Amino acid sequence: MAIYRNPVGSQLTTEPNRPDQMEKSNAVSAHFPEILSELATEVKHGLAKTPKRLSSRFFYDDEGSRLFEEIMHLPEYYLTRSEYEILETHKDELLRVFSAGDRPFELIELGAGDGLKTKVLLGHFWSEKANFTYAPVDISRAAVDKLADDIRKKWPQMEIQPQHDDYFNAIERLSNRSPTRQDRPRLVVLFLGSNIGNFSPAEAADFFGKISQSLQPGDLVLTGFDLQKHPAVIHAAYNDRQGLTKAFNLNLLRRINRELEANFDLSAFDHYETYNPETGEARSYIVSQKEQTVLIGNLNQRVHFDYGEIIHTEISRKFTRAGIEQLAQQAGFKLSHWLTDCKHYFADVIFRK
C-alpha cells in the first residue's frame, strides 16, 4: 500500500499502486535512468547520514514541478513577482545588451519550468524582430513539453529547441556544441529564479565556473539572486498558510515510494522551515512525527526515525551585492549589470565572459 496526499495536504487517502502509476514509473526509468540511479544513491547514502539529508534537486518530478508552479503564485512568495517586475521594467535594456553589435543570440534557459517570466522577454524580443533562438532546459519532461507547446501556439514562427535534461548535462552539451567561429550567435544563458540559492558557496562557484568554461568572450549569463531583507518576509515565503510548501517537500517522499518502492507514510511526517539572518540561509526539513521504520524496497534498506528526527532537504541562501560580485569573479565573469525590483527584494544580474 502507498499513501497519497491531496497536494494541499487537506485529506489523506490510501490506495494500492495502480497499473498506470507503475507504467509512469517505468516510463521515467526508460527516459531518465541516470536520474533514477542518482536518486537511489542519494536515498541510500543521504538517509544513512546523521542528520539525514536529501538533495532538493530531486523535488522536481512532474508533481513537484506542478506544485512549485502553484507556490510561485502564492501571495507570500514574493520572489516570482519581484523578478517578473525586473524583467518587465528592463526588457528594452536586456535586448540592447543581448543583441549588442546587431549580433544574433541564443537564449539557453536552465530550469525553464513554465516559462512565466521568460515569456516577458520572448514576447518583447519577438515584437522587436530580434534575431534569436530559444532553448529551454528542464528536468521535467512535462514542464518543458508544455512550455514548448505554449510558445509554439503563441509565436508559431519562433525558433525553439526544447531540451529534457538537467542543468549539468545541458552545460556539458553546451560546451560540446559551441562553435569557435567569431561570427557565431552570442550565447546568453538564463538561470532565472533563485535556484543558485540552493547551492553551497563552493557549488555555486563550481556551477558558474563550468558555465564560464563553456562560453567565449562576449557571451552572457542572466541570473537571479534573492537578496537579504527583513527575516519575517523571507520566513513567510517558505511557510505558506495554504500548505503548498509542505506538500512540495513531502512529495519527495511520495516520489521515493513510487520510484524506489518505499513505504513512507506521508501522514507521519511534517515540514519545518527556519531562516537565520546571520548566515542568510533558509533551511527546509522534513520531520518525523513519531518513532518509525521505513523500508526502501529497491535498496533493501530499512531506515529508522526517532520522534522529531529530521531530514534536511534544502538550503535557500540569500545574497548581498558584495557576495554576488565575489561569486562572479571566482567563476571568471564580470558583473556588468545590476537590476532590482522596486523593493530591492531581488536582483537579476548579468555576468559577462
How confident is the prediction for the chain on average, in pLDDT?
Answer: 86
Contact predicate 269/286, CB 8 Å: yes
Whether residue 246 has pLDDT greater than 80: yes
Domain of residue 109, CATH code: 3.40.50.150
Task: Looking at the structure, tell me whether residues 307 and 323 fall in a common domain.
Answer: no
Task: Looking at the structure, tell me whether residues 93 and 171 fall in a common domain.
Answer: yes
Q: Which amino acid is at 234?
A: I
Count CB-CB contacts under 10 A for residue 14: 10
Task: Looking at the structure, tell me whether residues 221 and 90 fall in a common domain.
Answer: yes
Q: Where residue 174 falls among pLDDT bands split at 50, 70, 90?
A: low
**Over residues 213-242, mean pLDDT:** 94
More confident residue, 282 or 27: 282
Whether residue 2 has pLDDT greater than 70: no
Cα–Cα separations (whole angstroms), residue 174 to 59, 197, 245, 334, 347? 24, 23, 33, 20, 25
Domain count, the chain: 2
pTM: 0.80
Range of the domain at 8: 2-71+233-317
Instruction: Quote the pLDDT of residue 7.
Output: 28
Q: Where residue 214 falls among pLDDT bands split at 50, 70, 90?
A: confident
Q: Which amino acid is at 221?
A: V
Task: Looking at the structure, tell me whether residues 289 and 324 fall in a common domain.
Answer: no
Instruction: Quote the pLDDT of residue 125.
Output: 97
Mapping DSSP to helix (H, G, I), strand (E, B) and coil, where does residue 27 land?
helix
Instruction: Quote the pLDDT of residue 177.
Output: 63
What is the tens place of the pLDDT at every residue in 312-347?
Answer: 999 999 999 999 999 999 999 999 999 999 999 999
CA 182/CA 272 separation, integer angstroms: 51
Cα–Cα separations (whole angstroms), residue 110 to 12, 76, 190, 229, 239? 35, 25, 6, 26, 26
Whether residue 85 has pLDDT greater than 70: yes
Task: Looking at the structure, tell me whether residues 189 and 332 fall in a common domain.
Answer: yes
Instruction: Quote the pLDDT of residue 16.
Output: 32
CA 61/CA 78 separation, integer angstroms: 23
Write b or e for each residue in 316-334: b if 16 or more Cβ atoms lie within 10 A of its Cβ, otherwise e.
bbbbeeebbeebbebbebe
Instruction: Quote the pLDDT of residue 26.
Output: 37
Task: Looking at the structure, tell me whether residues 101 and 8 fall in a common domain.
Answer: no
Contact predicate 347/340, CB 8 Å: yes
Task: Looking at the structure, tell me whether residues 271 and 341 fall in a common domain.
Answer: no
CA 302/CA 321 separation, integer angstroms: 45
By percentage, how much of the chain surpasses pLDDT 70? 86
State the cell numbers at 283: 533551511
Phi-psi region of 188 (alpha: psi -120 to 50; beta: other; left: phi over 0): beta
Instruction: Quote the pLDDT of residue 152.
Output: 94
Whether residue 71 has pLDDT greater than 70: yes
By percentage, how much of the chain surpasses pLDDT 90? 71
What is the tens place of the pLDDT at every residue in 129-150?
Answer: 999 999 998 877 888 888 999 9
CA 31/CA 81 separation, integer angstroms: 34
Mean pLDDT is lowest, of 21-25, 202-206, 251-255, 317-321, for 21-25
Mean pLDDT is lowest, of 28-42, 231-245, 289-303, for 28-42
Task: Looking at the structure, tell me whether residues 163 and 65 fall in a common domain.
Answer: no
What is the tens place of the pLDDT at every residue in 249-275?
Answer: 999 999 999 999 999 999 999 999 999
Contact predicate 312/336, CB 8 Å: no
Q: Report phi then psi at 269, rounded to 5.
A: -130, 150
Task: Looking at the structure, tell me whether residues 250 and 216 fall in a common domain.
Answer: no
Task: Looking at the structure, tell me whether residues 197 and 286 fall in a common domain.
Answer: no
Task: Looking at the structure, tell me whether residues 222 and 343 fall in a common domain.
Answer: yes
Task: Looking at the structure, tell me whether residues 166 and 309 fall in a common domain.
Answer: no
**Over residues 217-240, mean pLDDT:** 96
Q: Report phi then psi at 159, rounded to 5.
A: -80, 115
Q: Where residue 166 falls among pLDDT bands split at 50, 70, 90?
A: confident
Q: Report phi then psi at 284, rounded to 5.
A: -110, 140
